[in-house]
Chains A and B, each alone.
Chain A
Amino acid sequence: MALTDQAFMQYSRQILLPEVGEHGQSRLSQSHVLIVGVGGLGNLAAQYLAAAGVGRISLIDGDRIERSNLPRQLLFTSDDLGGNKADVAAQKLMRAYRDCHIHCYQHYLTADSAATVFNNRYHAIDLVLDCSDNFAARQLVNQLAIEHKVTLVSASAAHFQGQLLSVNQQISPDTGCYHCLYPSDMSVSQTCQTVGVLGPMVGSLASMQALMSLNLLLTHDATAELPPIAVQSRCMDSRQLLGQLYRFDGAKFTWRQATLARDPDCTVCRVHER
């Protein structure tokens, strides 16, 4: 699909990158990203993706905007208090980024509501971003991403700790899933409500999540379409990003990386084995 002159101008700094080019920009414009949770992570990740020219974004959140959200949920102001997060974010992003179609679901993602959200007949989901704020929701998003064979990009932040990972059972089965790393029966203490967090801490993770997402959208099954030289020189390869866990300590300013591993006993990804 050819880009319009205006799109070419608007995204010129991205198109300049050999890893993006016109082809990549066009690919972004045809991508559909689902963002689960429109809090601190979801706000910024959605804005970055919409601004980058991702063509379709679905936002889902049943939560309402509270005053304590404002230091890190930067799309919202005190005029928005009480509004639904997905709704308000969608309205603001649509006004700012006309190229992006934004759909909002003003309820939480549940096992019951998942079918409507994931089985979009016209616009298949290319990527799911887990931007939720609790362990149970994270387990559900992982399970649904596996069921629907969609790549999951999961980010989280609380206190001065942030974590980021992406998984896909079709492309990288050996690295397992979120549940292989964090079984659902493990005990969890940290959430933003109980330990506190600084806005830029959440923002750092959201930015990395958006960057990882763009990388993945640009490289998904792109190998076949690129000339061999470009493949060799490409610094981005979805298989290098998938299946890695990145942990950021925002007090010591250290990043750590570890390769994920599939748990042969995992009750979530084992069930959906290819």
Chain B
Amino acid sequence: MISIVLNDEVVTVSIGTSLVKVLEHQAIELDAVALALNAEVVPKSRWPHIVCQQDDKLDVFSVVAGG
């Protein structure tokens, strides 16, 4: 197991867990969020292909459209 930081909270995941799996485990609706990994936005099409590393910092956020 490795630990990552998801929106400021430490979360433990198995080695080899992809970004998309992390979101699924956390019951986060994939269609409603964008994601930054270590302060770099990762386009949604890349989520299944990127595997979490120890101490990765994940920020998951929704679009804000108001003005």
Chain A residues within 8 Å of B, Cβ to Cβ: 37, 39-42, 130-135, 138, 155-159, 161-163, 176, 180-183, 185-193, 195, 197, 202, 205, 245, 247, 256-266
Q: Is the CB of B34 within 8 A of A181?
A: yes
Q: Which residues of A are found within 8 Å of B46, using beta-carbon distances?
A: 263
B43 touches A191 (CB 8 A): no
Most buried by A among B32, B36, B44, B63: B63
Q: Are A266 and B43 in touch, CB under 8 angstroms?
A: yes
Determine whether the beta carbon of A163 is less than 8 Å from that of B31: no
Nearest residue, chain B, Cβ from A158 = B66
Q: Report B-chain residues with C-beta under 8 Å of the C-beta of A157.
A: 64, 66-67
Expressed in whole angstroms, the Cα–Cα distance for A187 and B29 within the complex equals 9
Flag if A191 contacts B66 (CB, 8 Å).
Answer: yes
Known: A176-B43, A259-B41, A260-B41. A190 touches B62 (CB 8 A): yes
Main secondary structure of the interface of A (DSSP, over half): mixed
Complex Cα gap A186–B28 (Å): 13
In which size bucket is the chain B interface?
Answer: 20 to 34
**Residues 2-61 of B contacting A (Cβ, < 8 Å):** 29, 31-34, 36, 39-46, 59, 61
Give the docked Cα–Cα distance between A202 and B67 (Å). Answer: 7
B43 contacts A158, CB within 8 Å? no
Q: How far is the CA of A54 from the CA of B18 in the complex (A)?
A: 47
Expressed in whole angstroms, the minimum distance between the Cβ of A16 and any Cβ of chain B is 32
Q: Does B1 contact A (CB under 8 A)?
A: no
Assembled-state Cα–Cα distance A13/B56 (Å): 44
The answer to whether A190 touches B65, judged by C-beta atoms less than 8 angstroms apart, is yes
Residue in B closest to A45 when the chains form the complex, CB atoms: B67
Contacting residues, chain B, for A39 (C-beta < 8 A): 67
Give the Cβ gap from A143 to chain B, nearest Cβ, in Å: 15
For the complex, what is the distance from the CA of A180 to the CA of B42, rounded to whole Å? 9
Q: Which of B42, B64, B66 contacts A261 (CB under 8 A)?
A: B42
A-B contact pairs, 22 of them (CB 8 A): A37-B67, A132-B67, A133-B66, A133-B67, A134-B65, A138-B65, A156-B63, A157-B64, A157-B67, A158-B64, A158-B66, A159-B64, A180-B43, A182-B63, A186-B34, A188-B32, A189-B62, A190-B65, A258-B36, A261-B43, A264-B43, A266-B43
Partner of B41, one of A138, A189, A245: A245
- Complex: how many Å from CA A156 to CA B62? 12
A174 to chain B, nearest CB (A): 11
Bound Cα distance A222, B37 (Å): 33
Q: How far is the CB of A149 from chain B (nearest CB, A)?
A: 22
Once the chains bind, are B65 and A188 in contact (CB under 8 Å)?
yes
Which of A258, A263, A266 counts the most B-chain CB atoms under 10 A from its CB? A258
Q: B64 to chain A: closest CB distance in Å?
A: 4
Q: Which of chain A's residues have a CB closer than 8 A to the CB of B62?
A: 188-190
Closest partner residue, chain A, to B32 (CB atom)? A187
